């Protein structure tokens, strides 16, 4: 694989479980040395995609290449070049962190000496050297997940699949995993990340692919996807909910006739604007001139959460089908 070639190429990928279509023609390209996040509601096909790319599941149609190798024709070549961190911990809680990593090294046939050296190297890299002799059952959630991540790197994979790596972690544990991922990418590793945490994608990803119904509905940088919602937003919180109607007229003028959304219960109203500074200045002046008292006036950019809801809609979430083949 040349340096300019994509690390992952997916074209028209399809997969069905009995009468359910998990993937319905997914397209995805991941450049080398980047973090590419895959977002989608539960059941959208995220985990199915990862399992196919990791050669754990056979697809029904389309094409998938990882590190230049077809996942169906050359699965051994693919496996040699990837690491996988699944949704559930793969480490033994009775063993110490060091013993876990040595065990994984031996399973990869590194031999005792090389497995021990690699275990020490990874414990140091992920800030676990001081706790390497402790049983994993005594680790915090963040420490356990970092050990999981270390185990997936025993063979120095060029491409790493992270399937919802921070599910269930507290904010500190999540930050620990994020920092570990950033260090990997700085070292040249390509990461495909599936997540339901929109902040996680915003923090880590160079590009974001949103999938729904088994296919990509958007792909781009976080800023590019946010721009699709049409600019910044001005929001006003009033002291008196009885002035919402009058305030909506003021905000509507600043939004140049755009739709104004109101929330009477929270005395809040807002609208999208194109010229953020002019809109803010005009709103403040017009509210004061009309005698309307505001508790708060803010300008904010669209969030990835809003992009997600805009693209996928508000729908009931159901667990993704995980039936093996």
Rounded Cα–Cα distance for residues 144 and 303 (Å): 30
Domain membership of residue 321 (yes or no) is no
Same domain? 156 vs 210: yes
Same domain? 20 vs 36: yes
Backbone angles phi, psi at 177, to 5 degrees: -70, -40
Domain membership of residue 257 (yes or no) is yes
Q: What is the pLDDT of residue 184?
A: 86
| Sequence-distant (≥ 6) Cβ neighbours of residue 234 within 8 angstroms | 251, 254, 255, 270, 271, 273, 276, 279, 280, 283, 297, 298, 299
Same domain? 42 vs 105: yes
Rounded Cα–Cα distance for residues 74 and 67 (Å): 11
pLDDT in tens, 222-281: 888 887 776 688 899 999 989 999 999 988 887 787 788 899 999 999 888 877 788 888
Distances (CA, A) of 126 to 97, 174, 177, 180, 193: 11, 14, 9, 7, 19
Same domain? 195 vs 258: no
Q: What is the pLDDT of residue 214?
A: 92
- Name the domain boundary from 226, 251, 268: 226
Q: In what order do the strands lie in the sheet with 8-17?
A: 20-30, 8-17, 61-66, 69-70
Same domain? 20 vs 43: yes
Q: Provide the domain limits for residue 237.
A: 231-301
Same domain? 219 vs 86: yes
Contact 177, 145 (CB under 8 A): yes
Same domain? 148 vs 282: no
Rounded Cα–Cα distance for residues 23 and 7 (Å): 20
196 burial via Cβ count (<10 Å: 0-12, 13-18, 19+): middle
Same domain? 126 vs 187: yes
- Name the domain boundary from 226, 257, 276: 226
Q: What is the pLDDT of residue 230?
A: 66
Same domain? 215 vs 277: no
Domain CATH code at residue 259? 3.30.70.100
Domain membership of residue 95 (yes or no) is yes
Domain membership of residue 323 (yes or no) is no
Same domain? 12 vs 135: yes
Ranges under pLDDT 50 in the chain: 315-325
């Amino acid at each position: 694989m040349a340096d300019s070639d994509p690390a992952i190429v997916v074209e028209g990928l399809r997969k069905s479980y009995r009468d359910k279509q998990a993937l319905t023609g997914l397209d995805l390209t991941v450049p080398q040395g980047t973090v590419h996040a895959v977002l989608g509601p539960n059941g959208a096909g995220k985990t199915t995609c990862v399992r196919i790319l990791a050669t754990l599941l056979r697809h029904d149609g389309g094409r998938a290449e990882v590190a230049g190798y077809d996942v169906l024709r050359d699965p051994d070549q693919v496996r040699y070049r990837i690491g996988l961190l699944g949704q559930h911990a793969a480490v033994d809680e009775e063993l110490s962190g060091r013993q876990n990593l040595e065990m994984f090294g031996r399973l990869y046939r590194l031999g005792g000496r090389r497995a021990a050296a690699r275990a020490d190297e990874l414990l140091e890299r992920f800030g676990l050297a001081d706790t390497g002799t402790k049983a994993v059952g005594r680790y915090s959630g963040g420490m356990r997940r970092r050990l999981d991540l270390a185990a997936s790197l025993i063979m120095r994979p060029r491409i790493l699949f992270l399937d919802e790596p921070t599910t269930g972690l507290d904010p500190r544990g999540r930050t620990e995993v994020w920092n570990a991922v950033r260090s990997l990418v700085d070292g040249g590793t390509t990461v495909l990340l599936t997540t339901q945490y929109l902040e996680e994608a915003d923090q880590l990803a160079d590009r974001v692919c949103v999938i729904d119904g088994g296919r990509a509905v958007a792909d781009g940088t976080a800023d590019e996807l946010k721009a699709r919602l049409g600019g910044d937003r001005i929001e006003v919180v009033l002291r008196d909910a009885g002035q919402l109607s009058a305030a909506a007229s003021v905000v509507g003028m600043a939004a140049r006739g755009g739709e104004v959304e109101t929330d009477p219960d929270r005395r809040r109203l807002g609208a999208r604007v194109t010229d953020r500074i002019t809109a803010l200045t005009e709103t403040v002046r017009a509210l004061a001139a009309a005698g309307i008292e505001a508790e708060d006036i803010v300008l904010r950019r669209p969030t990835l959460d809003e992009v997600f809801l805009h693209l996928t809609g508000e729908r009931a979430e159901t667990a993704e089908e995980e039936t093996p083949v």
